[in-house]
């Protein structure tokens, strides 16, 4: 094994045993990295510094066997560990008592054109999957961020702009390979442990470490005749919020499965300090049909109508600046059964957002609040799974991004308030939360629906009763 020049001094006894035992067992491309190593700081980087901890060691794995061996060693020496893929969550971090299993070098993607599938490895990022899919003339409904881990995004439900046509990302999951809480390696499919297939389609990180995931891939022509996607970002001054929501709400309320989008309140990227409202619109079809569909928004006269067509391979590129590592960031999300179309709600959101920026200053100006409406395919098209949010019509999301740690309290208070405002027209039991965004909300709101929570709890007790992969459901 290469890259083991670090000394293990300073590590606690159990971690030292894991590191020592693993050294001869990992593949040649794997590395055990500790504080003394040059790569340490780079491997510690995360999307957000909120809650960032420093582990005893990082095991950078390169193969499925590396993953299984590392899990087994940790289990046998009683060392806690967390897997890390894209590092965009607040959870793939652990303190000095534990180890990070870094999956980023374990990122091969195989597209099978004949069977119409894509198989991603445990550490593949979304960009690693969509480029070869596009090359093969195929597409799968991944999320909107290039550097997010393809596995965690998919197995935790998978919100996606493609949901109207292709379902949620988790709906496309066909099979998986999973290292369990006992260190065993299982194949999961509709014929092999189907109960775990149900679980990993929405609650996937709580049942084991997914070493690979095979998803359905559809012809690119499902998206449009030439496989490109129509997009525009139409900015307005925040003072126009009532007009914009007035035009957008009817479109979002009865969504054509080909149309999706978001309404975003943020600071102008021009740096003039003004607050703006952006209609970010997407259409799967011809530019003519897109313009006809969104004519009421265009008629409002945005600053620009930045219309373009992008290939599936580049569908997420506009979002790259938002995927940068570092700084203090967090997103909180609530799902509601109707589009929050009352202008008073959005006027209140603008006011609360402006108050945050006034308090926290320009260093928090990349924060934003938005609602995204959900493209719906036919009801009942997708198999029952751990993903329980079929009734959600729109997600209200509040994202903070600040660089001064002293803004933590103001940022959190604003996020709570932003979700309160965005959901206040709905009864408490109607409001759902997204478990891949927050693990603190009531669990029933993360796994709603009759019998879902009970089923997942029973599965957790069977497959991970000691909480190796978190205590969620225990």
Ligand X SMILES: Cc1cc2nc3c(=O)[nH]c(=O)nc-3n(C[C@H](O)[C@H](O)[C@H](O)COP(=O)(O)OP(=O)(O)OC[C@H]3O[C@@H](n4cnc5c(N)ncnc54)[C@H](O)[C@@H]3O)c2cc1C
Size of the site for ligand X (CB under 6 A): 32
Q: For the CB of residue 106, give the shortest distance to ligand X in the complex, in Å.
A: 9
For residues 167-206, which are near ligand X according to CB under 6 A? 205
With CB atoms as reference, the residue minimizing the distance to ligand X is 149
Q: For the CB of residue 423, give the shortest distance to ligand X in the complex, in Å.
A: 19
Q: Rule CB under 6 A: choose which of 92, 140, 146, 233 binds ligand X.
A: 92
Q: For the CB of residue 89, give the shortest distance to ligand X in the complex, in Å.
A: 3
Q: Are strands 80-84 and 98-102 parallel, antiparallel or unpaired?
A: parallel
Question: In the complex with ligand X, which residue's Cβ is closer, 83 or 227?
Answer: 83
323: contact with ligand X by CB under 6 A: yes
60: contact with ligand X by CB under 6 A: no
Question: In the complex with ligand X, which residue's Cβ is closer, 319 or 426?
Answer: 319
- Nearest Cα neighbor of 266 from 160, 401, 373 is 401
158: contact with ligand X by CB under 6 A: yes
Instruction: Considering only the stretches 137-145, 307-315, 355-363, 457-465, report the one whose residues sit in contact with ligand X under the rule CB under 6 A.
Output: 137-145
Instruction: Considering only the stretches 55-63, 68-76, 89-97, 273-281, report the one whose residues sit in contact with ligand X under the rule CB under 6 A.
Output: 89-97
Task: Decide if 180 contacts 460 (C-beta within 8 A).
Answer: no
87: contact with ligand X by CB under 6 A: yes
339: contact with ligand X by CB under 6 A: no
Question: In the complex with ligand X, which residue's Cβ is closer, 323 or 370?
Answer: 323
55: contact with ligand X by CB under 6 A: no
153: contact with ligand X by CB under 6 A: yes
Radius of gyration of the chain (CA): 22
Q: For the CB of residue 102, give the shortest distance to ligand X in the complex, in Å.
A: 9
Question: In the complex with ligand X, which residue's Cβ is closer, 122 or 422?
Answer: 122
Positions that interact with ligand X (CB under 6 A)? 47, 82-89, 91-92, 103, 122, 143-145, 148-149, 151-153, 156-160, 205, 209-210, 322-323, 436
């Amino acid at each position: 094994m290469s890259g083991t020049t670090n000394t293990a001094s300073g590590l606690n006894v159990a971690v030292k045993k894991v590191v020592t035992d693993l050294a001869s067992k990992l593949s040649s491309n794997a590395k055990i990295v500790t504080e003394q190593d040059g790569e340490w700081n780079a491997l510690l980087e995360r999307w957000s510094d909120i809650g960032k901890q420093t582990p005893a060691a990082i095991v950078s794995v390169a193969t499925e066997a590396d993953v299984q061996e590392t899990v087994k060693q940790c289990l046998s020496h009683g060392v806690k560990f967390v897997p890390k893929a894209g590092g965009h969550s607040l959870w793939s971090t652990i303190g000095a008592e534990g180890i990070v299993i870094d999956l980023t070098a374990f990122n091969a993607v195989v597209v099978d054109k004949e069977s119409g599938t894509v198989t991603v490895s445990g550490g593949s990022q979304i960009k690693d999957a969509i480029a070869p899919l596009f090359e093969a003339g195929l597409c799968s409904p991944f999320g909107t961020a290039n550097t997010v881990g393809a596995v965690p995004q998919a197995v935790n439900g998978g919100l996606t702009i493609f949901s109207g046509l292709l379902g949620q990302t988790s709906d496309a999951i066909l099979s998986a390979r999973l290292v369990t809480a006992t260190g065993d390696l299982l194949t999961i499919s509709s014929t092999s442990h189907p109960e775990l297939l149900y679980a990993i389609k929405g609650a996937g990180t709580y049942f084991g470490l997914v070493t690979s995931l095979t998803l359905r891939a559809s012809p690119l022509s499902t998206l449009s005749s030439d496989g490109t996607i129509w997009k525009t970002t139409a900015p307005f001054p925040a003072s126009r919020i009532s007009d914009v929501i007035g035009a957008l709400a009817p479109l979002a309320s009865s969504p054509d499965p080909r149309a999706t989008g978001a309404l975003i309140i943020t600071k102008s990227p021009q740096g003039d300090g003004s607050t703006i409202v952006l209609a970010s619109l997407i259409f799967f079809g011809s530019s003519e049909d897109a313009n006809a569909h969104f004519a009421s928004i265009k008629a409002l006269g945005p600053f620009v109508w930045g219309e373009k067509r992008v290939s599936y391979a580049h569908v997420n590129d506009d979002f790259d600046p938002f995927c940068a590592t570092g700084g203090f960031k967090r997103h909180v999300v609530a799902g509601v059964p109707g589009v929050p179309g009352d202008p008073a709600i959005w006027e209140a959101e603008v006011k609360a957002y402006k108050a945050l920026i006034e308090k926290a200053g320009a260093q928090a100006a990349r924060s934003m609040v938005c609602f995204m409406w959900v493209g719906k395919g036919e009801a009942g098209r997708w198999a029952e799974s751990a993903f329980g949010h079929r009734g959600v019509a729109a997600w209200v999301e509040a994202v903070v991004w600040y660089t001064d740690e002293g803004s933590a309290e103001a940022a959190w208070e604003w996020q709570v308030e932003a979700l309160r405002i965005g959901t206040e027209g709905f009864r408490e039991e109607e409001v759902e939360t997204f478990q891949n965004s927050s693990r603190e909300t009531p669990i029933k709101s993360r796994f709603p629906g009759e019998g879902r929570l009970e089923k997942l709890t029973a599965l957790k007790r069977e497959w991970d009763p000691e909480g190796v992969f978190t205590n969620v459901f225990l």
